[in-house]
Structure 1
Amino acid sequence: MNHDPAEWRLFIDSSKRSLKAILLHNGNKYSSVPVGHSVHLTENYENMKILLNAIKYSEYQWEICGDLKVVGILLGMQKGFTKYCCFLCLWDSRATKEHYVKTDWPVREHFLPGKKSISHEPLVLPEKIILPPLHIKLGLMKNFVKALNKDGQAFLYLRQEFPTLSDAKVKEGIFIGPQIKAMLKDEVFLTKMTPVESEAWNAFKTICENFLGNKKDPNYKELVSNLLSSY
């Protein structure tokens, strides 16, 4: 296919029953182009390797976007709740007392099998990975809801607004994009929060509108810093 690889990004999505790859134009000038799909290959390292070979990834070297599970597989990381589960830094999932307290973690410089939760050779270069804003938003929403007082008005209001969601999903903060969008517009939800909760929610809302949306505020670094402080 004749194209400039720098103008396109490869989106990979996987599940227990399928695997697909789609080329997305960076400026959305052109329609998306499906380049790979299988209802037999599941989400694992070997199948991801087959997919990349089939679409000749080594020849085009597109930037890649996908959820954290896909990113982990592409970079040869161990599955499950591992000690070093971040591909960007050596954030320690076991050091719970330092979460949201320690802000500077060592940068992950190497992807060596057998070390720092790496089990295979990376299939792509780490610098080719970009994270979709939606998945960042889903993660932030999840952390916000999990930190809510389960007997507080804000959490009870969430359960009331989403009666079809199971209690387990609400408690774990598992929401989809449209549901988060609806809550961001819900002014009543804000009135149900404590001052600490409302500060965190407003910071999250600001990030969604000025960094994870269609525009990026020139002052985005400060907005991110405020979000981390409020969380």
Structure 2
Amino acid sequence: MSTATEVVLARGVDVCTEYNVPLAVEDFAPVILAGIAFWYLAQAVRVALPRAYPVALVGGLVVTLGGLAKATWKILVATGCWEYPILENLLFPCIALGFSATAWAAFSLAKGREANPWLFVAFPLAAGLGSGWMSWSAGEYKNWPLLIAAAVAACVMAISLAVVAFRAGKRSVGYLLVIYTLGTNILPPLAAQPAQSLEIQWAEQLTNTAVQASFLVSAMWLLSYYRERAASGAVEATAEAGVS
């Protein structure tokens, strides 16, 4: 655990006064929404591509774990200035690995079959090695290679799911996933700015909550869509068997 003085020296801002408790509590909202959305996504993958289900499930769990760690770090800082950098920094490898897994599952859904996994494995690993090398060279933690890997993977995931929605004629869900993609690219650079006012942070967190809510609605539709397809296919197979 770092002292308050070490935190100020390392960051250039006093995180002990940067967050208040309501802001820190609200940070759990987008994490919970995203976690539920990932569960729905994994169930949709389970219906459509059962062998890809464990990857989708674990990927969503890992992203959620990283988000919970960061939200926990924020509330500890806000309530007692207890600074555990490992909780904050755990976010970045978790989202890089987790989003890469869910991106592979979503891309496989869009293709209708399991995609080649190697690019989705190599990309976050390369980002992790790059982050480790840069951190060792600079003598301090550098997370931006992992952040870039996570952003790219999240975009691949959302765009793949949007393709599924547009193909199915569900344009409203497709547009929600476009909003999710835009939010994924806009919010991280804004959140990375130092010494933000509470008003700006509230705007960012509420926007993130809305973005994750759009993901949840999309994932719920996705599960319903694949269940309907599976049921329709079972009916058709039964009818064909009866005719033969």
- Give the TM-score range, shorter chain: 0.3 to 0.5
TM-score, normalising length: structure 1:
0.33
Structure whose residues are more often helix by fraction: 2
**Counting strand residues as a fraction of each chain, which structure ranks higher?**
1
Task: Name the structure, 1 or 2, with higher relative contact order (CA <8 Å, separation 6+).
Answer: 2
Per the normalisation by structure 2, the TM-score is 0.31
